[in-house]
A and B are shown apart, each in its own frame.
Chain A
Amino acid sequence: MSESEMAIIKPEAMKSYVWLQCTDGSIQQVEEEVAMFCPMICREILQTGMGSSKNYAISLPERVNPPILSLILDYCRFHQVPGRSNKERKTFDEKFIRIDTKRLCELTSAADSLQLKPLVDLTSRALARMIEGKTPEEIRETFHLPDDLTEEEKLEPLKNTNDDLRIRLLNRLYAKKRKELKERQKQKDVEVEEPQKDERSVDEILSFINGDGDSKSAKAAKNKKKNRRKKDQPKDPSRIESEKSHKKDALTLSMGRSEPGGSNSPSPSRAEDAFPTRVDFEDGDIDDELDPAMKEELDREVEDFARRLNSDWPERMQEILSLSQERRAVPNLMNGNGSLQRYTGNRRQ
């Protein structure tokens, strides 16, 4: 008779049990030899003496809920029997992991918290097989994962990771631009309200005609309306595109950066004028105050700023980097005459 069969006909009273408690409060009674297969439980029993009765049940880690615990115990129950052949074990394992993705993830995590390494490896391998050959999108779908890498991070990134300040600035500008475009969307939605504004401007015109002081504000109001309409048309398509793929924004930014100083950059004087007032980059409030003409200028200025950032920094960063590299390299020159050769240019053909 095999040991497992012996275990079955053994009278209940002679078998020892341990009690395990999950974080939801439920308590399970399990054969001792099965539970001891988990290193974490084994340690608890041996070191603290817990688990011997219902009142002193061993508390299991959070990641082990009752259904998963039962799966794990099935695994332990099978494998703790010494007489099984490798082939039997392998067959069992292969069937065992044929469960849905969600449960497989939970099982891996639970096995890890119980320190049951063979099961961790088994399930991890199964998960790895599910990842193999898939695209990132497919992997996200399989495991219900968020798509939280920004487009910038997915694309060829723009600069050295050490450029913290630069990255922050550009990210701000970038986000600001996105926000602006959202603002435009809002404006478009708000267009319905324009008739009211029309009335107001008519009033203003009337008051102007009638000799009230605010000619400027009347003009400004008129211009606001005109410019807004003009811009809604060309801008909308780009807004739609940019919401679809922010890639375009990043590319626009980068193209703006790389264009030569000549043809496409904004006239320096205007940008110069606008620049000092934009030093403070706290988002949000500024946008609401701007009229469309200023917004267009902002667009250009964002690109110009990005371009200037990029043209000034590379040289300085390279300097800093090469300085730090040289400092590291100097002690190494002592080790081989070959490197000295290199630096003195004395290479043989």
Chain B
Amino acid sequence: MREERSDMSEDEDGGGGSAKSRGGGGAPPPFSDQVLENVLENVLQFLSSRGDRNAASLVCRSWYRAEAQTRRELFIGNCYAVSPRRATERFRRVRAVVLKGKPRFADFGLIPNNWGAHFHPWVCAMAAAYPWLEKICLKRMSVADGDLSLLAYSFPNFKELSLICCEGFSTAGLAVIAEKCRHLRVLDLIEDYLEDDEDEMSDWMSRFPETTTSLESLVFDCVGSAVNFEALEALVTRSPALRRLRVNHHVSVEQLRRLMALAPQLTHLGTGSFGSAAAAIPQGGNNVVDLVNTFAASKSLVCLSGFRDVAPQYLPAIYPVCANLTSLNFSFADISAEELNPVIRHCHNLQNFWVLDTVRDEGLQAVAATCKDLRELRVFPVDPTEDSEVSVSDVGLVAISEGCRKLRSILYFCQQMTNAAVVTMSKNCQDLVVFRLCIMGRHRPDHVTEEPMDEGFGAIVMNCKKLRRLSVSGLLTDKAFAYIGKYGKLVRTLSVAFAGNSDLALRYVLEGCTKLQKLEIRDSPFGDSALLAGLHHYYNMRFLWMSSCKLSVRGCNEVAQRLPHLVVEVIRDRDEDDDGEFVEKLYMYRSLAGPRTDAPPFVKIL
């Protein structure tokens, strides 16, 4: 990573001496270096943004050292870009670490199991180097129970653990965390995949300290196994600081009501199933009234999610809190527009809304009518296949664009779209930073004009001047990419699937998008010559992923040779012999650590 610099401070001979003769020769005498030296660390501690810290570390030797001493939060966007040892040796006083592992396409099953991104070497290095570590946030890493154990035993002051899209651990690991991390404030498990055997599950909920806890956030909606509800209730009772609680689908609505009654101070609530345990259905009516009252008492709620098996008769119970909601996640709720309408009508302050496309265009129109402050919208498909029924379309998109002018981020799955709708959105929502349109049918053109979707995406990059993240889909020719290369000057992340005609498309992007950091491409006809067109830029990027394109081993080899600090991985799906020249999956990233030593047999590093 360009952000991590080595401490090649060989002050002897060649390196230092000849360098000093350069730079600053005729400039005014450098006084500030001396003056600032005493207070530099104090000044730098007020710098928090990563970009500012990176800039400060490149100013001169003394600043490099002072910045390394004062960095409190370490962000590593690719765990293979630097070795744990190097990171811990440079930054000695870190209190919080963010580590990201696999590329995003791992979420779509494109990366075979056991590929890597192991937390183990990191936790070992940190256990030795950072005894005062307080926070760890991992995304797409492979975490074993042993790692969690080591974590729990190594950091006496540990406060916050966030695991996002991780796998490899089980409730046993959670049990150790709960028991040993006595100062735990945050335990957030978000979209993880836990390895749990039916007969080997651990009652981790009972392992929290018996005394009052400092828990502020407990998120476990992705945990597949049921938790000990009595233990959970007791835990909530003795956690007065609890503000965020997201339970899994095993918690019924009756149980939820009891929890809410114990914790009226909650601000973020994940409702679990929001459906009844079968036995309770006959008392349906009373239950709803109780539930409404409970919600009415939760005056601090601003964020609601869950609704995993929502029983529609319970939905009205949330009306009392709707007006205060800034965030509502219905992405697991199979509800219709009619069921959505009475809820959304009250949500004037909503800024984040996630929903299933079962609400159809009518539902989105209702959103557009009320949620004038909407910043982020995500519409997920209930049936993510190519030929599912049309539910949301260009009509919904246009409605949103007209009603929600402050929109900054949109993820929209649909079966069909028109250029006109996308152009309209580009004009109405000038604040767009993230635009991800997923037309599920491959190579699907504008369903009205039958033309490629080039003009629509072109308008987005042209009109939305703050755009940083873009996902394209539908039938796209090289022209769309010419637009992206020409106008997408701030684009940092680009996702391409089933698009483009020729190598030109990729060339446009690599040559035009000067701020490109992350590029993920699948099933598009790009070959070696396009790959080689980006040599000037790859060191500035975090990674490039290309799968099912037209790459050959020769082309990838050439990149590897010309750019020695790039790790070029060729990944095979099956452990067959070399498939000749053809490269199925290419994942390449800059690295200070060189080729990794933990690569499984199906990964070949060139």
> Which of A's residues lie within 8 Å of B, judged by CB?
63, 101-102, 105-106, 108-109, 112-113, 120-121, 124-125, 127-128, 131-136, 139-140, 143-154, 156-157, 160-161, 164, 167-168, 171-176, 178-179, 246, 254-255, 257-260, 283, 314, 318, 321-322, 325, 328-329, 332-333, 335-342, 347-349
Which residue in A113, A121, A135, A328 is a CB contact (below 8 Å) of B128? A328
Evaluate contact between B33 and A171: CB separation under 8 angstroms: no
- Report the 5 A-B pairs with minimum CB-CB distance, sorted nearest first: A339-B146, A175-B14, A338-B145, A147-B23, A336-B149
How many Å from the CB of A247 to the closest CB on chain B? 12
How many Å from the CB of A137 to the closest CB on chain B? 9
Q: Once the chains are docked, how many angstroms separate the CA of A157 from the CA of B258?
A: 58
> Which of B's residues lie within 8 Å of A, judged by CB?
2, 5-10, 12-20, 22-24, 27-33, 35-36, 38-39, 42-47, 49, 52, 55-56, 58-61, 63-64, 83, 85-86, 89, 113-114, 120-121, 124, 127-128, 144-150, 153, 168-170, 172-173, 176, 195, 197, 539, 561-562, 564-565, 590, 592, 594, 597
Contacts of B170 in A (CB 8 A): 338
Given A179-B18, A255-B564, 20 other A-B residues pairs in contact with their CB atoms under 8 A: A108-B36, A131-B43, A131-B52, A140-B59, A143-B59, A144-B30, A146-B24, A148-B61, A150-B16, A154-B58, A156-B565, A161-B8, A168-B13, A173-B14, A339-B144, A339-B145, A340-B146, A342-B146, A347-B114, A348-B197
Evaluate contact between B85 and A321: CB separation under 8 angstroms: yes
Evaluate contact between B83 and A160: CB separation under 8 angstroms: yes
Q: Once the chains are docked, how many angstroms separate the CA of A337 from the CA of B147?
A: 10
Which residue in B60, B114, B153 is a CB contact (below 8 Å) of A149? B60
Which residue in B16, B33, B176, B564 is a CB contact (below 8 Å) of A336? B176
Evaluate contact between B145 and A157: CB separation under 8 angstroms: no
Q: Once the chains are docked, how many angstroms separate the CA of A152 from the CA of B114?
A: 35
Q: Once the chains are docked, how many angstroms separate the CA of A278 from the CA of B528?
A: 42
Q: Once the chains are docked, how many angstroms separate the CA of A59 from the CA of B99?
A: 51
Evaluate contact between A160 and B22: CB separation under 8 angstroms: no
**Would you list 13 pairs from A and B whose C-beta atoms are within 8 A, ordered by A residue?**
A105-B35, A143-B36, A146-B23, A148-B61, A149-B58, A150-B16, A157-B6, A161-B89, A168-B10, A254-B564, A325-B121, A338-B145, A338-B173
Contacts of B36 in A (CB 8 A): 105, 108-109, 127, 143
Q: Once the chains are docked, how many angstroms separate the CA of A212 from the CA of B121?
A: 73
Evaluate contact between B32 and A102: CB separation under 8 angstroms: yes
Evaluate contact between A335 and B150: CB separation under 8 angstroms: yes
Chain B: which residue is nearest A113 at the CB level? B38
Chain B: which residue is nearest A162 at the CB level? B85
Contacts of A176 in B (CB 8 A): 14
Evaluate contact between A338 and B146: CB separation under 8 angstroms: yes
Which residue in B13, B22, B47, B145 is a CB contact (below 8 Å) of A147? B22
Evaluate contact between A109 and B38: CB separation under 8 angstroms: yes
Evaluate contact between A258 and B561: CB separation under 8 angstroms: yes
How many Å from the CB of B324 to the closest CB on chain A? 31
Which residue in B17, B148, B592 is a CB contact (below 8 Å) of A157? B592
Which residue in B6, B17, B89, B124 is a CB contact (below 8 Å) of A329? B124
Query: A interface, by DSSP: helix, strand, loop or mixed?
Result: helix
How many Å from the CB of A113 to the closest CB on chain B? 7
How many Å from the CB of B155 to the closest CB on chain A? 13
Evaluate contact between A174 and B121: CB separation under 8 angstroms: no
Evaluate contact between B33 and A135: CB separation under 8 angstroms: no
Q: Once the chains are docked, how many angstroms separate the CA of A147 from the CA of B13?
A: 18
Chain A: which residue is nearest B150 at the CB level? A332
Q: Once the chains are docked, how many angstroms separate the CA of A329 from the CA of B565?
A: 28
How many Å from the CB of A107 to the closest CB on chain B? 10
Chain B: which residue is nearest A335 at the CB level? B149
Q: Once the chains are docked, how many angstroms separate the CA of A257 from the CA of B64?
A: 28
Which residue in A134, A147, A157, A321 is a CB contact (below 8 Å) of B60? A147
Chain A: which residue is nearest B2 at the CB level? A156
How many Å from the CB of B81 to the closest CB on chain A? 10
Contacts of B60 in A (CB 8 A): 140, 145-149
Contacts of B172 in A (CB 8 A): 336-338
Evaluate contact between A109 and B39: CB separation under 8 angstroms: yes
How many Å from the CB of A160 to the closest CB on chain B? 7
Contacts of B49 in A (CB 8 A): 132
Interface centre among B44, B59, B153, B597 (most CB of A within 10 A): B59
Which residue in B38, B42, B169 is a CB contact (below 8 Å) of A338? B169
Known A149-B19, A258-B564, A332-B127; judge A63-B61 contact (CB<8 A).
no
Q: Once the chains are docked, how many angstroms separate the CA of A283 from the CA of B49?
A: 43
Contacts of A328 in B (CB 8 A): 124, 128
Evaluate contact between B19 and A339: CB separation under 8 angstroms: no
Q: Once the chains are docked, how many angstroms separate the CA of A96 from the CA of B293?
A: 55
Known A168-B12, A175-B14, A259-B561; judge A133-B52 contact (CB<8 A).
yes
Evaluate contact between B561 and A175: CB separation under 8 angstroms: no
Q: Once the chains are docked, how many angstroms separate the CA of A341 from the CA of B13?
A: 49
Evaluate contact between A112 and B38: CB separation under 8 angstroms: yes
Q: Once the chains are docked, how many angstroms separate the CA of A290 from the CA of B279?
A: 96
Evaluate contact between A332 and B124: CB separation under 8 angstroms: yes
Q: Once the chains are docked, how many angstroms separate the CA of A164 from the CA of B7?
A: 11
How many Å from the CB of A124 to the closest CB on chain B? 4
How many Å from the CB of B173 to the closest CB on chain A? 6
Q: Once the chains are docked, how many angstroms separate the CA of A151 from the CA of B8?
A: 11
Q: Once the chains are docked, how many angstroms separate the CA of A151 from the CA of B5?
A: 11
Evaluate contact between B10 and A128: CB separation under 8 angstroms: no
Evaluate contact between B35 and A139: CB separation under 8 angstroms: no
Known A140-B59, A146-B30, A337-B145; judge A153-B113 contact (CB<8 A).
no
Q: Once the chains are docked, how many angstroms separate the CA of A283 from the CA of B12?
A: 13
Evaluate contact between A156 and B539: CB separation under 8 angstroms: yes
Contacts of A133 in B (CB 8 A): 52
Evaluate contact between B23 and A153: CB separation under 8 angstroms: no
Evaluate contact between A127 and B55: CB separation under 8 angstroms: no
Q: Once the chains are docked, how many angstroms separate the CA of A325 from the CA of B122?
A: 11
Chain B: which residue is nearest A130 at the CB level? B43
Contacts of B597 in A (CB 8 A): 318, 322
Evaluate contact between B33 and A338: CB separation under 8 angstroms: no
